[in-house]
Amino acid sequence: MPIVRTDSLTKTYGDAAHPVSALNAVNLAVEEGEFLAIMGPSGSGKSTLLYLLGGLERPTSGQVWLRDHDLSKLNDNDLSRLRRTAIGFVFQFFNLIPVLTAQENVAIPLILDGMPRAQALKQADEALAKVGLSDRATHRPSEISGGQQQRVALARALVTKPAVILADEPTGNLDSRSSDEVVQMLRHTVDEWGQTLILVTHDPRIAAYADRIVFLKDGKIVDENRLKGQGTADQIREQLSRVALQ
Amino acid sequence: MTTQVSGLGSTAGQMARMGLRYLSGRRLRTALTTLAIVFGVALIFAINLVLPSAVDAFNQTMSGIAGADATITSVTGEAFAPEAVLPRLEAIDGVRGITGVLRRQFQLPTLGIRNDNGSVPQIELVGLDPASASQVREFIVSEGRFLEPSDTGKAVLPAGLADLSPQLQVGTTFPLVTAGGLKLYTVVGLLAEQGSVSVPQIYVTLTDAQAAFNQSGLINAVEVSFDPRADREAVTAAIEQTLGDAYTLNTGSSSTDTLAAMQIGFAMMDLLGLLALFLGAFLIFNTFRTVIVERRHDLAMLRAVGATRRQITQMIVIESLIQGVLGTLIGLLLGYLMAQGVVSFMGRFWATYLNRGALELRLNAPAVLGAVALGLVTALIAGYFPARAAGKVSPLDALRPATTASIHRAARWSLIIGAGLMALAVLLLLTGSKGAAGGALLFLIGMVLAAPGLVMPAARLFSPILTLWYAREGDLARSNLVRQPGRAAITGSTLMIGLATLVTIAAIVSAFSGLINTLADANFGSDLILLPPSISIYDTVIGADENLAARLRALPEVEAVGSLRYASAAAGGQSLQVLGIDPNAYPQVATFEFSQGEPDKVFAALDSERNAIVTSLALSSLGVPVGSDVVLQTANGPQTYRIVGVANDLFTFKLAVMFISQANLAADFHKTEDIMLMVNLTPDADKAAALAKVQDILTDYPQFTARLTGEYREEIVRTSASAMYLFYALAFLILIPAALGLLNTLTINILERTREIGVVRAVGGSRTQVRRIVTAEALLLGVFGAAMGVLAGVAMSYGFIAAFATAGWEMPYQFPLLGVVAAIVIGVVLALFASVLPARSAARLDIIRALQYE
């Protein structure tokens, strides 16, 4: 049974007179332990899809299922709880709290969930070790590099052992070396710990690490690539331009 | 999944830790924001530390001989004949002993007794009848003997007092000031008691005390002891019933007006503290709104990783609470120091000016709790609303580029209600002087409500002036400002309150100085003035009998001598000071500032029948017009006086005073001592030489100080002017939050427009131009706030001066031109000052980063 599933997921912005369709009856299923990349040209609805999967945005119609929770039926508090226990986010801008240390940033979701501080910090240390940043635990975000900041953000997403990690252009703000480092680490979480991962990107080099790519255009899934991590960037780039020209 | 409840403490702890880090990351802003809380808490705490001890000290010195069960005084506080009371008390069941005493506190200028607190400036001289006093209270003699009925010039002291002063031993003599000049007393015995530390008592026979106070045959208190088996409440009730309204079983009724004046003073300081806290709340509110815009990303991220709205709200509230706690703690400390300052300053003033007991600082739970509660509640309320807004930040804000600053429309209803309130306020100001102060405040509130609607017209009105200096940037600045009328309005309102206070204070100060100058001319018509140790409060003053005036008149240089005499009285349930003047001699040496009545006719009327002049304050507190009759409680029972004129002078304009003839004062109040004397010299007399001769006479009357009137007048006017500067200082303190509010608003505006600033730079705007846009915007805000402040200030000053007039302080209203000019200049300068940092940071923005800013 898929861990994440959508059912005719539709999102429309604007008022009734001037509807702007962002997502149109999308059906998507993601299996446990799968690494899915979402690609598509600008305005194709890929970010909207990610927000809907993360419970940050509410669907106009259709459903989003995370395990057996129908996200469209949850209230704000329940959604918040789900986000801090079952979903991990990694953003393009690393979005760390500047006044907290790396360790404390990682511990935030646990502390928000009411875990005693000492225990939360201990688990944060473990998560930092997984991303290879044990020696940066007491540094503030401004004291470490961009790639390291994104790894801290990844540790923050991992610390709750979420059902799924949602990553929105996680390398969009990094140089190519740091990008490789981060995406290899993402791959590693899938391979080593069976983490489910959904990633939005426009970079074929990054998407090449995924098990499967879905291509979005005008709010619809128009193509798919089950490359199982074996694809090449060029191949994906070609497929992407085909989608854009359709 | 752990439950939320079990871990709330941990979450709150983390929130607090995070709050502290955010706050310490912005130390200057935190300090400035906290300052207003510190100031408010300190003021309120200091006042409530001093107040109870001041009231206690007051009551303590007014209470009677320790050990008596009850003390009976006349409602007027004045002396009375013992026959009027004693026989009636004897018949009451349960009364064991009764004794009449005549006692008064006064200054000891020459004795030089010292205790731990420094010199003992005052004592209480207690005249008692040795036989009956022993029945009321036990006097245990430790050395020598107790007083005997036949003693004259003999005194008994507490051993505690003798310990302090080696000269005061059994067998030694010491001088005391009396109405008849200095008299020598011999110590015949010491009592085995410590005595009052602050106001030592010296016991003499009743006859000696009557002579010393020039009140032959009179007493001013009756001490009563009860039968130990009697029901105390029943006895008390029986005494009250027997004596009726003319007497009270209490401690110190004669001084209630002083006490009331004191409490009003403290209440005014309390009000100032509350105002400071109010501005503190305003400031915290404003700052946290800025904080939320600045931290929108962090907040959204927290929401995205699972923080609930409540948790976010909690975090901001905790942060404002941290400031509240910090401000309150520092405020308590500062308040304690302030209270100590007040005590040491007032203590001196207290001792030399009021002749009251010592002041000491007493930490008391209500003062601490009250100040703490106010400080915390202020921070909590002010932080709550921005915190709630913070909870509403969408988690998507962390992922998406920010929407640019949205344009808000000013609420029309707010403008309509505001304008309505202002119109009502103007009506109140113009028609009724009673509601004038209310009208002034109403105007201010109306202004705050109308402000958002006024931003646009004000920006249109002032931007042509702005384009003179900022031809290219002015338009952009104006459109930036009107995008968020609510924010501009709040900033303008903060500035308005500060500047309106300044204008009001300037107007009141100038009106007050004018009043003081006019009144000073009335008081100081004479050449020399002989002043008692305390002015305005005379119940502890030992005056002089007629010999002093006679000796002054005998000097060849002296042309005329006029004097004031004093008694306390009550009318219509209110206490009043009664001052006796000689209607013929007084106008030669001084005059009044008459507001009703012809001076010549009024002085002539005073000479006959029971006629009186009252001060404006007395007239308004009596609530009757000129020409009406007032029943005065005198030492002789109720007497009817007719008000024939209303007049003030410098010493009395802030008091409820009734002037009557000295003849009536002697008849109704048994008072014949002069408590202040004014002397006119012959035209060719050498003033300095005359002063020396008068000072020579005063060696026998050390309670008086002789001064050249002109010199003294200058001193008074100067002192009152310097007291006024204190108010200016307070007005400037109120402007600090206003400046910080400006800074906050400009900062938010720039943060929200980072991307736009990037665009301006990208299309060729120079750094200087960006800086000038921000400066122009600040100037517009400053001028807007100043314009509102001037309007509100004029209304407020008019209202308050009208309100003062109803309270009896009539001052002519003058347009506060100086205050208005100062307010405009200060408003503009503050705006420029507040714009320096935001303008610089806007100009320094990196173009690429600004364009990418989301």
B8 touches chain A (CB under 8 A): yes
Tally of residues, chain A: 246
Q: Structure tokens of B232?
A: 């105390």
| pLDDT on residue B452 | 81
* Of B2, B21, B305, Cβ closest to residue A99: B21
Q: Based on the domain organization, do B96 and B228 belong to the same domain? A: yes
Q: Structure tokens of B149?
A: 């009925």
| Locus of tokens 């004795």 | B111
Nearest Cα to B459, choosing from B833, B789, B785?
B785
d(CA B464, CA B783): 13
Q: Based on the domain organization, do B76 and B183 belong to the same domain? A: yes
Chain A's closest residue to B394, CA to CA, is A56
| pLDDT on residue A103 | 92
Residue B91 lies in a domain: yes
Higher pLDDT among residues B854 and B802, named by residue: B802
Residue B443 lies in a domain: no
d(CA B24, CA A99): 9
| pLDDT on residue B114 | 42
d(CA A106, CA A96): 9
| pLDDT on residue A38 | 92
Mean pLDDT of the region B742-757: 75
Domains in chain A, please, with CATH?
A: 4-245 (3.40.50.300)
d(CA A200, CA A172): 10
Mean pLDDT of the region A180-206: 89
| pLDDT on residue B812 | 74
Are B493 and B418 spatial neighbours (Cβ–Cβ below 8 Å)?
no
Mean pLDDT of the region A15-28: 85
d(CA B278, CA B41): 11
- Mean pLDDT computed over every residue of chain B: 77
Q: Structure tokens of A174?
A: 């990094």
| pLDDT on residue B808 | 58
- Mean pLDDT computed over every residue of chain A: 86
- Give the model confidence (pLDDT) of B405-459 as tens digits: 455 555 678 888 889 999 888 888 887 666 677 787 788 888 888 888 888 888 8
Q: What percent of chain B has pLDDT over 90?
A: 2
| pLDDT on residue B746 | 78
What residues make up the domain containing B503? 455-524+712-854
* Of B13, B305, B394, Cβ closest to residue A89: B305
| pLDDT on residue B113 | 44
Q: Based on the domain organization, do B356 and B240 belong to the same domain? A: no
CA distance B19 to chain A (A): 9
| pLDDT on residue B718 | 76
Q: What percent of chain B has pLDDT over 70?
A: 80
| pLDDT on residue A125 | 93
Q: Structure tokens of B605?
A: 């009327």
Higher pLDDT among residues B46 and B254, named by residue: B46
d(CA B619, CA B598): 17
| pLDDT on residue B777 | 85
How far, rounded to the nearest angstrom, does the alpha carbon of residue B794 sit from its chain's CA centroid?
23
Domain count of chain B?
A: 4
Whether A47 shows a pLDDT value over 50: the answer reads yes
Domain closes at, from B199, B220, B250: B250
Residue B138 lies in a domain: yes
Are B749 and B835 spatial neighbours (Cβ–Cβ below 8 Å)?
no
Q: Based on the domain organization, do B693 and B566 belong to the same domain? A: yes
| H or E segment to which residue B364 belongs | none
Which residues in chain A touch residue B300, judged by CB atoms under 8 angstroms apart? Answer: 95
Dihedral pair phi/psi, residue B140, rounded to 5°: -100, 115
The SS3 assignment for A63 reads: strand
Q: Based on the domain organization, do B75 and B158 belong to the same domain? A: yes
Q: A93 vs B308: CB contact, 8 Å cut-off?
A: no
CA distance B436 to chain A (A): 51
| pLDDT on residue B358 | 55
Q: Based on the domain organization, do B605 and B491 belong to the same domain? A: no
Model confidence band, residue B119 (pLDDT cutoffs 50, 70, 90): very low
Q: How many CB pairs under 8 A join A and B?
A: 110
Mean pLDDT of the region A63-84: 86
Whether B32 shows a pLDDT value over 80: the answer reads no
Residue B572 lies in a domain: yes
Residue B413 lies in a domain: no
Higher pLDDT among residues B97 and B724, named by residue: B97
Q: What percent of chain A has pLDDT over 90?
A: 17
DSSP assignment string, B275-303: HHHHHHHHHHHHHHHHHHHHTHHHHHHHH
- Give the model confidence (pLDDT) of B782-811 as tens digits: 899 999 999 988 888 888 777 767 655 667
d(CA B641, CA B659): 11
Which residues in chain B touch residue A109, judged by CB atoms under 8 angstroms apart? Answer: 305-306
Q: B308 vs A76: CB contact, 8 Å cut-off?
A: yes
Residue B409 lies in a domain: no
Residue B425 lies in a domain: no
| pLDDT on residue B300 | 85
Whether B57 shows a pLDDT value over 80: the answer reads no
Q: What secondary structure letter does DSSP report for B351? A: I
Nearest Cα to B139, choosing from B154, B157, B165, B163?
B157
Are B277 and B731 spatial neighbours (Cβ–Cβ below 8 Å)?
no
Q: B307 vs A89: CB contact, 8 Å cut-off?
A: no
Mean pLDDT of the region A57-73: 88
CA distance A41 to chain B (A): 17
Single-letter amino acid code for the residue at A66: L
| pLDDT on residue B275 | 62
Higher pLDDT among residues A191 and B591, named by residue: A191
Q: A117 vs B301: CB contact, 8 Å cut-off?
A: no
Q: Based on the domain organization, do B47 and B118 belong to the same domain? A: no
Q: Based on the domain organization, do B654 and B725 belong to the same domain? A: no
| H or E segment to which residue A215 belongs | strand A212-217
Name every residue in A having a CB less than 8 A away from some CB of B.
47, 51, 54, 56-57, 76-77, 80-85, 87-89, 91-93, 95-100, 104, 107-109, 111-117, 120, 156, 168
Q: Based on the domain organization, do B228 and B259 belong to the same domain? A: no
| pLDDT on residue B472 | 66
Q: Based on the domain organization, do B849 and B749 belong to the same domain? A: yes
* Of B1, B11, B308, Cβ closest to residue A77: B308
| pLDDT on residue B118 | 41
Mean pLDDT of the region A28-44: 88
Q: A91 vs B398: CB contact, 8 Å cut-off?
A: yes
Cβ count within 10 A of residue B318: 20
Question: Where would I find the beta strands (DSSP E) of B441-542?
Answer: 528-531
- Give the model confidence (pLDDT) of B474-508 as tens digits: 777 777 777 777 778 877 887 888 888 888 888 87
Q: Based on the domain organization, do B463 and B396 belong to the same domain? A: no
Residue B595 lies in a domain: yes
B403 touches chain A (CB under 8 A): no
Whether A124 shows a pLDDT value over 90: the answer reads yes
Mean pLDDT of the region B3-26: 68
CA distance A236 to chain B (A): 26
Nearest Cα to B590, choosing from B676, B519, B530, B524?
B524
CA dihedral A58, A64, A67, A68 (to 10 degrees): 90
d(CA A103, CA A96): 11
Longest dimension (CA), chain A: 56
Q: Based on the domain organization, do B273 and B244 belong to the same domain? A: no
Nearest Cα to B252, choosing from B407, B77, B69?
B77
CA distance A172 to chain B (A): 12
Which residues in chain A touch residue B297, judged by CB atoms under 8 angstroms apart? Answer: 93, 95
| pLDDT on residue B360 | 66
Nearest Cα to A167, choosing from A46, A28, A18?
A46
| pLDDT on residue B61 | 47
